[in-house]
Amino acid sequence: MRNLLIFISKYNAFFLFIIFEIIALTTFVKNNNFQKATFITSSNAVVGNIYLKVDQLTDYLKLGITNDSLAQENARLRNQLKSSFYVDSSAVKTVLDTIYKQQYTYISARVINNSFNRRNNYLTINRGSNAGIAKGDGVICSSGVVGIVTYTGPNLATVQSLLHENTRISAMLADSNNVGSVIWDNNLDPTKAMLINFMKQVKIKRGTPVVTSGYSLFPTGTMLGHISNLDVKDSNNGTGIEVNLSVNFSNLQYVYVVKNKLALEQQSLEAQEKQ
């Protein structure tokens, strides 16, 4: 308190000047309509700019919450897509009973770690077994196929990226349904992959979309990329042609985990056939 009094006493002339300036300015503005209007307009402009900046800052701080909300809404809409259902038709006498049953469901998740420039790449997402995610689930984003879930914890999961030497996605050419497999070759380019094991007799055009076949984890027609080079190349897994991947793996933020409700049944039946 003593220091405060000393400070005020030392600078009393300055404080008196400020007080008189405020009184003079207030009196001048109050008794002059033009100046009063100008002052109010200027004040409103300053306050308006402050409000605008605060609002922009608030929107920025809420951006993460907004993105999470949008991702969840997109997952809900994906669950309603026709490609998420299959037709269950059963004939009983003369009655044909056709029912659409849901085969695929989607869970939104955020990427919290990601590699794309190694020989074998992985992602970590902020959803785990508590959200219903399990090993073997497919992972996509708005641009196409991302990878396959490999391990899950209660709240997190790791995903084997499409950019991995052991990832093989059942694919087809969108214009001919010619089936093959998409793999990531040993060129370490995160924008390129290879289409292998397809019928060589089929005429393929540059720019042809390559999509999932629906034979494995992913719904039919999920984007993988486009044919970018018609020259047949040798890879560790045979000959193939180059595919320009649709997903930008260097900028992954939000993904969707694909739950195939028939996957276990399909795997069980196919395992019996191999015995």
The pLDDT tens digits along the chain (275 residues) read: 666 666 667 666 776 777 777 776 666 656 665 555 554 455 445 554 564 566 566 656 556 665 666 666 666 666 655 554 444 443 333 344 445 567 788 998 989 999 999 999 999 999 999 999 999 999 999 889 999 999 999 999 999 999 999 999 999 998 887 889 999 987 789 999 999 888 776 778 889 999 999 887 898 899 999 999 887 776 665 678 899 999 999 988 889 999 988 777 766 776 776 66
Q: What are the structural domains of the chain?
A: 82-261 (2.40.10.340)
Q: What's the pLDDT score for residue 103?
A: 79
Q: What's the pLDDT score for residue 240?
A: 83
Q: What's the pLDDT score for residue 32?
A: 62
Query: Cα–Cα distances in Å, from 59 out to 46, 52, 53, 55, 193?
Result: 20, 10, 10, 6, 39
d(C-alpha 270, C-alpha 275), whole Å: 9
To 5 degrees, how large is the angle CA 214–CA 215–CA 217? 75
Q: What's the pLDDT score for residue 123?
A: 92
Q: What's the pLDDT score for residue 226?
A: 96
To 5 degrees, how large is the angle CA 85–CA 149–CA 171? 55
Which tokens belong to 134?
A: 């399990």
Query: Cα–Cα distances in Å, from 100 out to 81, 90, 104, 154, 180?
Result: 11, 12, 12, 32, 28
* Residue whose C-alpha is closest to residue 162's, from 239, 86, 81, 216: 216
Q: What's the pLDDT score for residue 170?
A: 93
d(C-alpha 200, C-alpha 212), whole Å: 19
Q: What's the pLDDT score for residue 90?
A: 37
Q: What's the pLDDT score for residue 129?
A: 93
d(C-alpha 220, C-alpha 264), whole Å: 18
* pTM, full prediction: 0.66
Q: What's the pLDDT score for residue 35?
A: 53
Which tokens belong to 72?
A: 């969840």
Q: What's the pLDDT score for residue 255?
A: 92
